[in-house]
């Protein structure tokens, strides 16, 4: 028993220094063995020959509650900081193993209370932050993509942690919050695009540029909207003939992206017909057209959305048409910038190696 105590103390001291350096499976196995000895000894009412086990258990319990639990808490994600170095899977398994040790050793309930209080705090913090962000996003006239994308990832981490702690109700409520957040993000993006398309104001275009810079985050939000819709269908909560709120939002967002792409492609076509349009102005339109196409491609590749695929393929065909027109002008025209414009158009398609239809798993999926 003394040797096992020493081994556990040494391993936990290493955890205090650097969580990544710990053999977590070995630590959990030692905890299980230690708890078994404590439990067996207590059941035998301290049979002669086994001395000081209860004292050892109490002392070890104090070490866990006073030194180890605070470190675990610091390494878990919170609304104001990212997680520490330790792997979240290891942390969840360790805390659950400590609760199991405490239960079998019969030395108290502090670790169980700590886990429940930690779950309550993590849940409450991320819920409040999510609801506050949704309220702010719904009032804003532009999308806050960097913060939105980070919050979705934080929600995912909290959902996973609470699932590991067996908090089913909290997990369900955070999944609903994640779906509401995703819908709010996509609606905010649509408002941003619609605001620019309505008047073409250059200030609003800066907001559009900010949205297009965060393709991955918008793809995550859009797919989360569709995922929540599929979950509703699986539970029988969706109406068989009426589009759900998520589907309506996703459909409207794709329509806005299509309108934005058409705006940029029309601008490129006019710029080809207008020699006085500089290559720098042309680059602005070609870059944004490429970013919009990349977003549509990302939606189609990740979600298998037939409608996004169709918009992407149609947009690419229009770009190929502009490239052909630019080549013709390059042969027949003396315009000084036409070679540069052709190069910028070719740069749009340079990153897309093969037709999207070869990648999408199904052309029958909705959207």
User: Tokens 């329509």 map to which residue?
Assistant: 255
143-169 average pLDDT score? 88
Confidence of residue 236 (pLDDT cuts 50, 70, 90): low
Burial of 103 (0-12, 13-18, 19+ CB in 10 A): middle
Confidence of residue 243 (pLDDT cuts 50, 70, 90): low
For the cut 60, the answer to whether the pLDDT of residue 79 exceeds it is no
What pLDDT, on a 0 to 100 scale, did the predictor assign at position 43?
62
**DSSP 8-state assignment for residue 108:** -
119-123 average pLDDT score? 93
Instruction: State the CB neighbour count (10 A cutoff) for residue 207.
Output: 22
**What are the backbone dihedrals phi and psi of residue 242, each rounded to the nearest 5 degrees, phi first?**
-120, 135
Confidence of residue 251 (pLDDT cuts 50, 70, 90): confident
Confidence of residue 322 (pLDDT cuts 50, 70, 90): very high
Query: Under a CB-based contact definition with an 8 Å cutoff, are residues 104 and 35 in contact?
Result: yes
What pLDDT, on a 0 to 100 scale, did the predictor assign at position 317?
95
What pLDDT, on a 0 to 100 scale, did the predictor assign at position 44?
65
195-221 average pLDDT score? 87
Query: Under a CB-based contact definition with an 8 Å cutoff, are residues 143 and 185 in contact?
Result: yes
User: Tokens 């549509």 map to which residue?
Assistant: 296
313-324 average pLDDT score? 95
Confidence of residue 227 (pLDDT cuts 50, 70, 90): confident
176-192 average pLDDT score? 92
d(CA 267, CA 261) in angstroms, rounded, equals 10
What residue spans define the domains of the chain?
2-108, 115-236, 257-367
The reported pTM is: 0.79
What pLDDT, on a 0 to 100 scale, did the predictor assign at position 358?
37
């Amino acid at each position: 028993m003394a040797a096992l105590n020493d081994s556990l103390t040494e391993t936990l001291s290493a955890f205090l220094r650097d969580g990544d350096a710990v053999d977590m499976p070995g630590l959990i196995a030692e905890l299980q063995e230690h708890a078994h000895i404590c439990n067996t000894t207590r059941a035998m009412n301290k049979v002669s020959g086994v001395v000081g086990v209860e004292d050892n258990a109490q002392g070890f319990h104090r070490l866990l509650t006073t030194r180890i639990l605070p470190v675990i808490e610091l390494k878990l994600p919170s609304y104001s900081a990212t997680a520490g170095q330790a792997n979240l899977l290891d942390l969840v398994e360790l805390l659950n193993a400590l609760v199991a040790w405490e239960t079998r050793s019969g030395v108290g309930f502090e670790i169980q209370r700590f886990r429940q209080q930690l779950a309550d705090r993590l849940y409450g913090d991320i819920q409040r932050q999510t609801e506050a962000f949704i309220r702010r996003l719904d009032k804003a006239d532009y999308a806050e993509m960097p913060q939105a994308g980070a919050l979705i990832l934080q929600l995912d981490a909290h959902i996973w942690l609470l699932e590991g702690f067996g908090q089913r109700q909290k997990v369900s409520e955070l999944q609903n919050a994640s779906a509401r957040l995703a819908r709010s993000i996509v609606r905010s993006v649509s408002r941003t695009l619609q605001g620019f398309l309505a008047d073409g104001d250059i200030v609003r275009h800066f907001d559009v540029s900010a949205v297009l810079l965060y393709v991955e985050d918008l793809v995550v939000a859009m797919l989360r909207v569709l995922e929540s819709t599929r979950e509703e269908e699986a539970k029988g909560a969706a109406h068989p003939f009426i589009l759900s709120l998520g589907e309506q939002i996703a459909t409207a967002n794709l329509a806005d992206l299509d309108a934005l792409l058409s705006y940029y492609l029309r601008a490129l076509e006019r710029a080809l017909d207008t020699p006085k349009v500089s290559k720098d102005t042309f680059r602005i339109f070609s870059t944004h057209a490429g970013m919009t196409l990349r977003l549509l491609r990302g939606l189609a590749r990740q979600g298998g959305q037939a409608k996004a695929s169709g918009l992407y393929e149609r947009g690419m065909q229009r770009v190929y048409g502009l490239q052909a027109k630019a080549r013709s002008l390059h042969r027949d025209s003396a315009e000084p910038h036409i070679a540069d414009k052709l190069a910028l158009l070719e740069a749009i398609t340079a990153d897309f190696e093969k037709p999207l239809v070869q990648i999408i798993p199904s052309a029958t999926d909705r959207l």
